[in-house]
Amino acid sequence: MILILNHVHAASKLTAEKSFFNFGTIREGMNAPVHFRITNTGTERAAIREIRTFAACVQTEPLQKQTLAPGESMELDYVFESLGYGGVTVNKKIEIIYDSNQSPLNLAVKGEVLPLESYQAPLGELTYNFFVLIDVRPPKRFIQEHVIGAINVPYEKIDKWAAEVSKSISAELIIYLYCDDGTKSDEMAKRLRQRGFSQYISIVGGLQEWKRQKKRQYLISGTQ
């Protein structure tokens, strides 16, 4: 009989400063930071082969290293995304698979997720549907009336505004422009798109078409 032995480094051993992380009590839709510190307390190098997490526990950045020398430590940072866990007491396992017969190192994430109240919404819902509405008319016209939630960036200033905000917003964010009849906002949307700002869109017909279809719905005075 031939006996085949798989070579493992029995002398490498990963241990954690704390075997579980308790993020406490949060409301559904909030993200909780999760942190572990692991150390190779063995006498040989420990090579990490795989880290198995549950779906809602997301690694915030790649591993600093794949191998730990004896006595060497490493930080593990995750985010627990609580959406869908409302009303649940969380006790989920993380497994660190490494080349030793001591493997795996078992860690746990614990905490309580409160369900959303009827008057609350998760941040993800807002950002998923998020858009910006810009009134490109002169400030006096904007004060007289505008669509609720719109911001006023006059036509003459929109080029500079677009260049400035492009540094801090995602190209996926939709930015709607409107003017009195759609003429100015059409011109501006075309020009911005030619410059590479593809998220700018003009509302056809402008405020006049809005009134034809919606009457005074969602229109307010700037003095309100």
Would you kindly state where each structural domain of the chain is located, as residue ranges? 14-114, 130-220
Report the b/e string of 160-193 with b at 16+ CB within 10 A: eebeeeeeeeeeeeebbbbbeebebbbebbeebe
Q: Are 113 and 135 in contact (CB under 8 A)?
A: no
The domain made up of 14-114 has a fold known as Immunoglobulin-like (2.60.40)
- Calculate the CA 158 to chain-centre distance: 28
How confident is the model over 31-47, as a mean pLDDT? 95
**pLDDT single digits (tens) 142-168:** 999 999 999 999 999 999 999 998 888
Q: Would strands 219-220 and 73-81 be described as parallel, antiparallel, or unpaired?
A: unpaired
Per-residue pLDDT at 173: 86
**pLDDT single digits (tens) 84-133:** 999 999 999 999 999 998 889 999 999 999 999 988 888 877 777 788 99
The domain made up of 130-220 has a fold known as Oxidized Rhodanese; domain 1 (3.40.250)
Distance, CA of 158 to CA of 168 (rounded, Å): 16
